[in-house]
Structure 1
């Protein structure tokens, strides 16, 4: 088997870190955890319109033009305070 490139190794390691971080936030396996589905670091604070998914932090929501779950176009955002 050919040796993997250093970039591929780093990307795989980062993906594993992100998965472990998400599992830590999930705790009991709740699929609706309140951690951003893009950065996996900040809490979710934005409700996307028109799909109404509550899945992004403020900075990621401002950088996205499509919802990360359903890929529908984001028409507006509601910033929630939890």
Structure 2
């Protein structure tokens, strides 16, 4: 649930950064589009918390009754 909120707010901020960036907002951020970069960070964090993002966890679903186990402990 928290990952979904992070991703949703991230999408909103990315869209604001792309379509609604004014010169005044860019001046307040010293030329950096804060909404765009903040939204990208939140979207990436939401994906990583959910487990969809490009994070190497070392785990995969093996279909056994105990659920997901680390690959390095399989025999």
The answer to whether the superposition gives a TM-score over 0.5 is no
Identify which of structures 1 and 2 has the higher relative contact order when contacts are C-alpha pairs closer than 8 Å and 6+ apart. 2
**Please, what TM-score do these two structures have when normalized by structure 2?**
0.32
Q: In terms of Rg, which structure is larger?
A: 2
**Please, what TM-score do these two structures have when normalized by structure 1?**
0.29
Q: Which has the higher helix share?
A: 2
Q: Which has the higher strand share?
A: 1
